[in-house]
Amino acid sequence: MYFGYDFVSGRNQLGSPEGFRPNQDVTYSIPESKQLHDFYLDGTWKNLKGSMMLISDSGSIIVPYSGKEVNIVTAGDANLKIKIDGTVIDPSISGKDVETLGRVHVHESGLYNIVQADTSEEHLLEILVETPGFEIFTFTFG
């Protein structure tokens, strides 16, 4: 799942009604209806060629998914809070980069493992971003 506008030809998975707007700051909202394997944004995000960057003081990313592992590729220094199905992620399915109370501190560019379950499950993942400047490139699922 790619966040940059340059990668969406034929595989646009941005479900927010505002859509991609290359090189613009867009204030996104979460629609009531969500589809599996699309992503949804809340807050103001700059649409970049290979990523999206949070411009507002806080924001969120919501992804209905099916799988046993979820990873994100990010950049910037940011604090994240991970929720599954509306509550803080349970330690039994927390990925290796999730600390206590569902916290993830992104401190360098790279891959962060946020969900690691024993079996493939369907959930609603929410990433609350508490720091402007957070940049997201991709989600990968296993």
96-118 per-position pLDDT tens digit: 999 999 999 999 899 999 999 99
Q: Give the model confidence (pLDDT) of 56-97 as tens digits.
A: 999 999 999 999 999 999 999 999 999 999 999 999 999 999
pLDDT above 70 for 4: yes
The pLDDT mean for the chain works out to 93
Q: Which domains does the chain have, with CATH numbers?
A: 5-141 (2.60.120.260)
3-state secondary structure the chain: CECCHHHCCCCCCECCCCCCCCCCEEEECCCCCCCCCCEEEEEEEEECCCCEEECCCCEEEEEEEEEEEEEEEEECCEEEEEEECCEECCCCCECCCCCHHHEEEECCCEEEEEEEEEEEEEEEEEEEECCCCCEEEEEEEC
